[in-house]
């Protein structure tokens, strides 16, 4: 496993420049130097976790405010804060609060919770909910996913870090399989990939679930090559990374054709021998469990990397 040779950090007086983030709301806010600094810190967090964590942030409190349930993301953030020595106040049912049932605005909730904590991690049911929170919050806000077809920047950051640990991001080819139109993870990662040269993206999806025009327009403006495809077998052998996402059968008119968007042993045989297989998880029928034993499967390490990246992000917003 190798890291990129040029990590993008620029020494100042012999020391690495550190960057402070106010909020983490969308993928577009990250520059390449900022990404490289984040990855450098994430690598540091791997070492910190191996030795059991740190107490450097023992006086900090993180609030996790989830309007939609997401056990993996919430527990990952909470574990990250605890590994840093901090404390956590948490809810996974914010929409069921009595105040929310009475139509309290997210802005009011954020102003209040910001008085109880040093950073807020929010998952909102509406697209743009995290941005609304950040606009009024007295403390840093981190977007843990907003709406159907919104963004999930921390997932995209850990995805990119997983790739970066083993591949050059320059000249990368990646195939996204599954639901593209409402796929927060694929949308957010596409924004990040557009920052690197000679990237080629394949969007493989049923026509009714293909990537929306806003992402395609963004890629066009940034000179990123992409192809729209309805059959994974036509492009799977070209990809350095195969990024499988879920696909809900009830959203697809061609039920027999669903097999064109899933990974099983027959797809493995067509892939590059050194390709990486990623999935944001949880999975259903789109990723066969027989794939777990393939040496190209990285989705459990991908989830593990989320701990390191989210630890690193917390240090950047709390400094």
**Domain assignments of the chain as residue spans, ordered by start:** 11-151+306-318, 167-297
Residues contacting 192, CB < 8 A, separation 6+: 27, 30, 35, 156, 157, 160
Is a pLDDT exceeding 50 seen at residue 109?
A: yes
- Report pLDDT for 18: 58
Q: Is 125 exposed, middle or buried (0-12, 13-18, 19+ CB in 10 A)?
A: middle
Q: What CATH number has the domain spanning 167-297?
A: 3.40.50.1370
Is a pLDDT exceeding 90 seen at residue 90?
A: no
Residues contacting 273, CB < 8 A, separation 6+: 296
Average pLDDT over residues 47-56: 97
Q: Are 48 and 311 in contact (CB under 8 A)?
A: yes
Going by pLDDT thresholds of 50, 70 and 90, the confidence category of residue 251 is: confident
Helix axes 32-50, 299-318, angle to 10 degrees: 110
Tell me the C-alpha distance between 291 and 271, whole Å.
Answer: 12
Tell me the C-alpha distance between 84 and 82, whole Å.
Answer: 5
Taking the model in full, what pTM does it have? 0.89
Going by pLDDT thresholds of 50, 70 and 90, the confidence category of residue 239 is: very high
- Report pLDDT for 96: 53
Q: Is 28 exposed, middle or buried (0-12, 13-18, 19+ CB in 10 A)?
A: middle
Give, in words, the CATH class of 11-151+306-318: alpha beta
Q: Which of 12-26, 104-118, 159-173 has the lowest mean pLDDT?
A: 12-26
Q: Which of 79-93, 143-157, 258-272 has the lowest mean pLDDT?
A: 258-272
Tell me the C-alpha distance between 317 and 114, whole Å.
Answer: 14
Is a pLDDT exceeding 70 seen at residue 256?
A: no
Count Cβ atoms below 10 Å from residue 29 Cβ, excluding itself.
13
Q: What's the token pair of residue 159?
A: 């995805």
Same fold for the pair 11-151+306-318 and 167-297: yes
- Report pLDDT for 17: 47
| Stretch (H or E) spanning 45 | helix 32-50
Average pLDDT over residues 270-280: 95
């Amino acid at each position: 496993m190798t890291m990129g040779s040029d990590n993008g950090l620029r020494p100042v007086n012999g020391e690495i420049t550190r960057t402070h983030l106010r909020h983490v709301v969308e993928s577009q806010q990250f520059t390449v130097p900022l990404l490289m600094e984040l990855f450098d810190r994430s690598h540091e967090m791997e070492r910190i976790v191996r030795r059991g964590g740190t107490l450097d942030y023992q006086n900090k409190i993180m609030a996790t405010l989830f309007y939609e349930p997401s056990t993996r993301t919430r527990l990952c953030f909470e574990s990250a804060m605890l590994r840093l020595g901090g404390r956590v106040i948490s809810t996974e049912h914010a929409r069921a609060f009595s105040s929310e049932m009475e139509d309290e605005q997210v802005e009011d909730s954020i102003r209040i919770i910001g008085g109880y904590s040093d950073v807020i991690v929010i998952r909102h049911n509406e697209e743009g909910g995290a941005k609304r929170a950040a606009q009024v919050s007295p403390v840093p806000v981190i977007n843990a996913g907003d709406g159907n077809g919104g963004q999930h920047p921390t997932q995209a950051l850990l995805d990119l870090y997983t790739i970066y640990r083993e591949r050059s991001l320059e000249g990368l080819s990646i195939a996204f399989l599954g639901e593209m139109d409402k796929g927060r993870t694929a949308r957010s990662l596409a924004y990040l990939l557009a920052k690197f040269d000679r990237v080629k993206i394949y969007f493989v999806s049923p026509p009714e679930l293909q990537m929306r025009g806003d992402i395609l327009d963004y890629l066009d403006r940034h000179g990123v090559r992409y192809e729209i495809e309805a059959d994974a077998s036509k492009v799977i052998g070209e990809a350095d990374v195969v990024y499988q996402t879920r696909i809900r059968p009830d959203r697809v008119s061609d039920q027999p054709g669903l097999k064109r968007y899933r990974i099983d042993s027959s797809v493995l045989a067509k892939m590059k021998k050194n390709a990486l297989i990623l999935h944001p998880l949880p999975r259903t029928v789109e990723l066969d469990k027989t794939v777990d034993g393939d040496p190209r499967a990285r989705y459990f390490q991908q989830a593990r990397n989320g701990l390191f990246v989210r630890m690193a992000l917390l240090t950047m917003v709390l400094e």
